Every structure is written in C-alpha cells, then in structure tokens.
Amino acid sequence: AIMSLSNAHHISKEEWESHNKMLLEPLAVNDSEVFSIIKKEKHRQTYGLELIASENFASRAVLEALGSCMNNKYSEGYPGQRYYGGTEHIDELERLCQKRALEAYSLDSEKWGVNVQPYSGSPANFAVYTAVVEPHGRIMGLDLPDGGHLTHGFMTEKKKISATSIFFESMPYKVHPETGYIDYDRLQENARLFHPKLIIAGTSCYSRNLDYARLKQIANENGAYLMGDMAHISGLVAAGVVPSPFEHCDIVTTTTHKTLRGCRAGLIFYRKGVQNVDAKGKETLYNLESLINQAVFPGLQGGPHNHAIAGVAVALKQAMTPEFKAYQLQVLANCRALSSALIDHGYKIVTGGSDNHLILLDLRSKGTDGGRAEKVLEACAIACNKNTCPGDKSALRPSGLRFGSPALTSRGLVENDFRKVAEFIHRGIELTVEVQKSLDPKATLKAFVQALSQVEKFQQRVAEIRVEVEAFAGQFPMPGLPEL
C-alpha cells in the first residue's frame, strides 16, 4: 500500500489551527521583517525628492486593486477562450481594461485592438518583435546611449547585450552629437541600406517630441512596420499634451507605471482592418491582432497577472479625468520650471530645454560627471539617474543627469517648488565639484565615494543639505496606501 504523505508527519490540531490563523494575519503581525523594510522604503520615498523620470507614485485605488484577490486566479488564454475554469469575472475585468485602454487614447475599436496581458514594458516589446519580425530579422531603434531603451536592441562593439540584439539583428540610430536631436537624415540613409522589418519610435531619455510622420515615411520606404514605444510619455499622450504616436504607428507599446501612473505592467496596441488599398482597389487587411495575441500567449507568457490588469484598469479610468489632464499639464510646467531654474544656475540642458516630462543636464562644462553627481545627490536624498550625453566618448563615464517631474508632481509640487528643487540640485552639484577638486583628477568613482563618506567637512555639507531636503519633501502628501 502507498503511504500517504500526511502519515509521514502527524499534524496536530494546534498546528493546523495555527496554519489557518497565519493566513489571516496582517503583514505587520506575520512578517515584521518584510514589514519594516517596506516602512523604511516608504520613509525614503516620503522624505526624499524623487526625480527619476521613469518613476511615479501610484494612487491608493490602483494599489488596492493590485493587492486584491485578483492575484490568485489563473486564466491562460483570452476572454471567452480560457484554459481554466472560473474565469467569468476575470473575463469581465480584461474586457473592461481593453475598453478603457482604447478609450483613454481615443481609439476606434474597429481600427485598433489592445493586448493588456504583457507583464511589463520589456516583455511587451519582445512580444511585438516575436510577432512581426522573423528570427534574425532586422530592427532599428534609438541607441541606448542616445536615449533609447535596452529592449530596442542594445549591443556594444564587444557584446550583444539586449536579447533583442541576440535573437534579431539590430542597427541603432543616433542623435546628432552637437544638437542632441535625433538625426532623421542619417536614419533614413541607413534604413535604405539595412532594410529593417521594424522601426521603433520611442525613448527613455529624450526631452523632445518625436517626428512620427517622418519616421512613418522612412518605415514605408522600406516596407517596415513602425512601432511606437510610448513607455515614458503614455500619460502625457493620454492627456493630449504631447503628440500622439497613434496617428502614424502600426503598433504602439507602453508601460503603465511611468507617466500613466498605474501599477507595473505593459500594453500592446495594434492596428486592425484595412492596411492599404492597391491601384486596382484591392484591400489588404492587417493581421497584427492574431500575431500579437499569439506571441504574448502562448508564445512568451503563461497566466496573465490579473491583479495588475485590475490596477491598470483603475489607472486608465483615472487617466480619462480632467484632473489627470491638469496633472499632466503641471508635469510639463514643472519640468520647464526646473529646466529654466537650472539654466539660471549656469547649467547646460541638452537641446536647450524640453517638450515633455524630463531633461538631460550636461555636466561636461562643470568638470564633473553624472556618476559622481548622482552619488552626492543620493546622499542628499535626491534621486535621479546618471546618463550619457550626446557626443560622450565613453558610456562608462556618462556626463549627464536625467531629471523628471512626474513623481514629485503627483505629490502636489508646482513651479515654485521645482525652483526650490533646482536649488537643492545646484548645491549638490557644487559639492560634487568640490569633492572632485580635492582628489587626484584620475581618482576612481570608488575613491570619490570614499572621500564623500569619510571626509568630515563633506559629510557635514551632505548632512546640511539632506536635513533641508527632508524637511521640504516631508511637507507634501504621499499618494497610495496609508500604511504601506
């Protein structure tokens, strides 16, 4: 006879009752270790200045949906065609999310469809490549050091880094090293030689609007698809405060947690219906819908993250309100205020300003670089990223800093507050320059960080700035769950 596993160890009544009780205990009670880490992170977010351009603070309603029982359900497949039972409410949720996604971007459901299942922006992009580009087929996206995203095909001379460059052939396009604007002429010349199957119109560190019409014309010349990746700007697009990629693109992907201010997930929009009509009046239809849906599931993913889909649906509803439009207008106004205040402090901004929610500060004229300034600002409770600037010789020593206004705008800051933020940044960079002057010009970043954290006068300066930053940031309300 086969001994059942439960016989191997006798479960006492008390043990079983304690197990059942455990499942009902609040986090703070059941896992004080994780709870206290979360509390520390909440404190960091509340008392720091969050200027990372890709980050935002999700609303309470979004986080409630994300933390709901929707986490528990498997539902491989699509509404109406699932591989699991018990999916009636999941179907209702996914259809609602799809409907809101199309509405939020004013899309006609006869002409556009949307897949709301991608786990995040990177898997959404890879699903598109898998759907429409054959293995080792050709892709052109903006190079990572020029403001593109890893998933657009990043590789170095020595190594293919992104899976996009491993499984497909990527030929990046660049910004002009002097102006910082995308060099569309070079892209056009190279596309004529390279004949890509897909061109990507999307950026992670580019402060100017894209010329989607020009990109579409280049794509058409080569019979390529144009994919918009609006990950950074999808909230601005929903609010109608920057040009929309939908007018010219065949496919549009996005994350949902950046300017859109939802939980972490991804979306893929694709065209449906008539693709073109030839001279004889014969219509060709898009076949993107089945290609993309099959690439997401079963091609690349298993069960959709239904809790995330619930959070995205809530965020999309919020994105259709007049309040959200006001928020995005304030995001733009704050970014301009930050940019012009930094220019007044004597800094150079790549392209001279911004059309969107982010700026790239060029530190080359200051005799320091992004890596060092980022460390000092972090010590002062100011969060931003180092980034390469157009014309940078080495990606290992990026000379810029990327700042974005979306997160702090969600906390209610307006233009005057951002001028104060610019002052804090300026003090942090002045300190960076001083620390660097105290060291050998060839000193490593490690030596720099050591000096910053060990030389008493530098520590004092950091502490002074940090106390003021924390007092300032602490005044503003924090979106999200009150406890966590």
Ligand X SMILES: *Cc1c(COP(=O)(O)O)cnc(C)c1O
Ligand Y SMILES: *[C@@H]1O[C@H](CO)[C@@H](O)[C@H](O)[C@H]1NC(C)=O
- Site residues for ligand Y per CB under 6 A: 18, 22, 25, 29-30
Scanning residues 393 to 422, which ones bind ligand X (CB under 6 A)?
none
Distance, in Å, from the CA atom of 281 to the CA atom of 303, rounded to the nearest integer, reads: 42
Residue 229 partner contact from ligand X, ligand Y, none using kind-dependent CB cut-offs of 5 to 8 Å: ligand X
Instruction: Check 97, 149, 152, 205 and give the catalytic one.
Output: 205
Residue 204 partner contact from ligand X, ligand Y, none using kind-dependent CB cut-offs of 5 to 8 Å: ligand X
With H, G, I as helix, E, B as strand and everything else as coil, classify residue 239.
coil
**8 A C-beta contact, residue 402 and residue 425:** no
Q: Toward ligand Y, which CB reaches closer, 33 or 278?
A: 33
Residue 18 partner contact from ligand X, ligand Y, none using kind-dependent CB cut-offs of 5 to 8 Å: ligand Y
**Position among 204, 306, 339, 409 found at the interface with ligand X (CB under 6 A):** 204
**CA dist list (Å): 380 to 47, 50, 284, 459:** 11, 12, 58, 10
Residue 259 partner contact from ligand X, ligand Y, none using kind-dependent CB cut-offs of 5 to 8 Å: none
Interaction of residue 202 with ligand X, rule CB under 6 A: yes
Q: Report how many residues bind ligand X under the rule CB under 6 A.
A: 14
**CA dist list (Å): 332 to 207, 386, 425:** 11, 21, 19
Q: Toward ligand Y, which CB reaches closer, 12 or 454?
A: 12
**Position among 98, 122, 318, 432 found at the interface with ligand X (CB under 6 A):** 122
Distance, in Å, from the CA atom of 429 to the CA atom of 372, rounded to the nearest integer, reads: 9
- How long is the chain? 484
Closest C-alpha to 229, from 200, 205, 258, 207: 200
Residue 29 partner contact from ligand Y, ligand X, none using kind-dependent CB cut-offs of 5 to 8 Å: ligand Y
Interaction of residue 54 with ligand X, rule CB under 6 A: yes
**8 A C-beta contact, residue 372 and residue 334:** no
Interaction of residue 120 with ligand X, rule CB under 6 A: yes
**Per residue in 388-403, is it b (16+ CB within 10 Å) or e — as a string?**
bbbbbeeeeebbbbbb
**DSSP designation for 141:** -
Q: Toward ligand X, which CB reaches closer, 331 or 379?
A: 331
- 219-258 footprint of ligand X as x/- string (CB under 6 A): ----------x-xx----------------------x---
Pair type for strands 283-285 and 382-383: unpaired
The answer to whether residue 195 is catalytic is no
Residue 208 partner contact from ligand X, ligand Y, none using kind-dependent CB cut-offs of 5 to 8 Å: none
The answer to whether residue 384 is catalytic is no
Long-range (24+ apart) CB contacts under 8 A made by 102-109 are 102/269, 103/316, 103/320, 104/238, 104/316, 104/319, 104/320, 105/237, 105/238, 105/244, 105/246, 105/269, 107/246, 107/269
Stretch that binds ligand X, among 114-122, 206-214, 273-281, 416-424 (CB under 6 A): 114-122
Stretch that binds ligand X, among 196-204, 373-381, 445-453, 463-471 (CB under 6 A): 196-204
Q: Which residue is nearest to ligand X (CB)?
A: 121
Scanning residues 124 to 163, which ones bind ligand X (CB under 6 A)?
125, 149, 151
Interaction of residue 207 with ligand X, rule CB under 6 A: no
Q: What angle do CA 53, 57, 61 make, to 5 degrees?
A: 145
Strand intervals (E) in 49-124: 49-50, 77-78, 81-82, 112-115
Distance, in Å, from the CA atom of 482 to the CA atom of 484, rounded to the nearest integer, reads: 6
Q: Which residue has the tokens 């039972």?
A: 85
Q: Which residue is nearest to ligand Y (CB)?
A: 30
Residue 25 partner contact from ligand Y, ligand X, none using kind-dependent CB cut-offs of 5 to 8 Å: ligand Y
Binding site for ligand X (CB under 6 A): 54, 120-122, 125, 149, 151, 202-204, 229, 231-232, 255
Catalytic residue ranges? 205, 257
